[in-house]
Amino acid sequence: MKYAFMDTHSGTFRITTMSRVLQVSRSGFHAWRQRKDRPSPRKQRQEQLDIAVKAAFEAGKGRSGSPRLTRDLAEAGHRHDRKTIANSLRRQGLRAKAARKFKVTTNSRHNLPVAANLLEQDFTAKAPNQKYVSDITYLWTEEGWLYLATVIDLYSRMVIGWSLSERMTAQLVCDTLEMALNRRGRPTGVVVHSDRGSQYCSAAYQALLKRNGLLCSMSGKGNCYDNACAESFFHTLKVEAIHGERFASRAVLRQTVFEYIEVDYNRTRRHSANGYLSPMAFEAQ
């Protein structure tokens, strides 16, 4: 308390005088002042952690919360529990990009034949090329809409096929499935699940399934949960790469989707269904 008094009144009284009156040494006061201005070991460790957490957060483009960052940092040699990482994020005002509601886009009001639901909300697979899910969503640019179709392998949640088009046609979903089949070595006997959209019920798409020995599965009428994994991917894409961004052209959006799927999502984004490994790392393991 004496040293604190001297520090507070050092602009009014001489240090020598206060030391004599308070019966303390000047050297002791100066040593106390140096210790006061130096961060404690705990504070230094906290500051070092905050630097590492912020760097990992920014490297992940602001998309990762404490569960994924905890694993990212552990691989870099910073082993802390999730609560510690969450506290660091909160202390620095860092928040992962927030979720928004997902909207259904495909049109199931048609008289085309529909397939039975072979998947029945079982989104697990014991090996690659057992179960695929497919869906379509729409993305806005200042030049107009782009429609994105994807095919996801439920084994690893890897996006194995995707295509963008200015029109939501049967050709869009056929191109997407062709990409998936080529990427996977054209396997047969795969259950390929989708909603009841007219594109998936079209003669062209159904013929493509039949030619390649694939099993068609479709969601129940109006039941978005039957294709939850496909919709979940679109939700993630929009939250992490689309919402809040301005796309002046379709070309810019195409590049953004390419980078998100092929560079970020498949290769590096940790997925809870994979034990927080990326789809590519999970399949490699």
Instruction: Report phi then psi at 125, rounded to 5.
Output: -145, 140
pLDDT in tens, 46-91: 777 788 888 888 777 777 777 778 887 887 777 888 888 888 888 8
Distance from C-alpha of 285 to C-alpha of 277, rounded to nearest angstrom: 9
pTM for the model: 0.70
> Which of 284, 155, 167, 151 is closest to 212 using CA atoms?
151
Cα(95)–Cα(18) distance, integer angstroms: 49
Whether 160 and 132 have beta carbons less than 8 Å apart is answered as yes
According to DSSP, the residues that pair with 131 across neighbouring strands are: 191
CA distances from 66 to 54, 83, 90, 191 (A): 11, 8, 10, 35
Residue whose tokens read 């894409």: 237
Q: Give pLDDT tens digits for 232-280.
A: 999 999 988 998 889 999 999 999 999 999 999 999 999 989 999 999 9
Token code pair at residue 116: 């039975």
